[in-house]
Structure 1
């Protein structure tokens, strides 16, 4: 494949803007990994449920998502590994919440709040 310097550019400022917007390619790879995790309907269901509950334990999340506790635990392990959720312990119960504001914003695009919510 020819290098960028060997190629004829139609609109160099647009190419520069595209490259500036792309930024660090490692970050793009990281987000591609996150999106691949989000592509699973069960995991996305869990994230939406967590978002609306604010924080929730595995057994309650399993009921809300219509999944088994084991399936929820396995999915949460993957979601934590990809930095999509965090957990904290209160006594013997572990509660999960979305990891950051970016996840909240993404969920709003998947399932936007209505004015009644």
Structure 2
């Protein structure tokens, strides 16, 4: 069981090959953590709605996102703050208006698999 970490090497395996395949499938713990954080951003319906709207129509302003999603402007602003900090979206100032666009390629790829986006495209 060449992929089993030393701290688990003493445990008994039923199928050592399956264990090594499973470990290889899990991959790097930091990558798993990154994807878990990405999925947690998508887990809230309001955040997902904002992301889908940005992905489809971005760059888009907070007011327009609130109107499109039915989420109040204050909540949209809080969602966007979280998405900016995570590196998922970026803001561009256009005069007095700030517009948001999706900048995380992996999140964009995930959003492409959402049926509503595929049907609307």
TM-score clears 0.5: yes
Alignment of 1:76-95 (within 5 A): 76-95=80-99
Q: Secondary structure at the match of 1:79?
A: helix
Deviates most, 58-67 or 28-37? 28-37
Alignment of 1:97-116 (within 5 A): 97-110=101-114, 111-114=116-119
Number of residue pairs aligned between Structure 1 and Structure 2: 114
Counterpart-to-counterpart distance in 2, 1:12 and 1:53 = 49
- 1:33 paired to 2:56: no
Query: Runs of 4+ in structure 1 displaced over 4 angstroms?
Result: none
- Structure 2 length-normalised TM: 0.81
Selected match of 2:46 from 26, 42, 47: 42
1:27 Cα deviation from its structure 2 partner = 2.2
Q: Which residue of 1 aligns with 2:75?
A: 71
Equivalent pair of 2:55/2:101 in contact (CA under 8 Å):
yes
Selected match of 1:24 from 25, 28, 39: 28
Gaps of 5+ in 2: 1-6
Deviates most, 69-78 or 92-101? 92-101
RMSD, aligned α-carbons: 1.8
1:77 Cα deviation from its structure 2 partner = 0.3
Higher relative contact order structure (alpha carbons within 8 Å, sequence separation ≥ 6) = 1
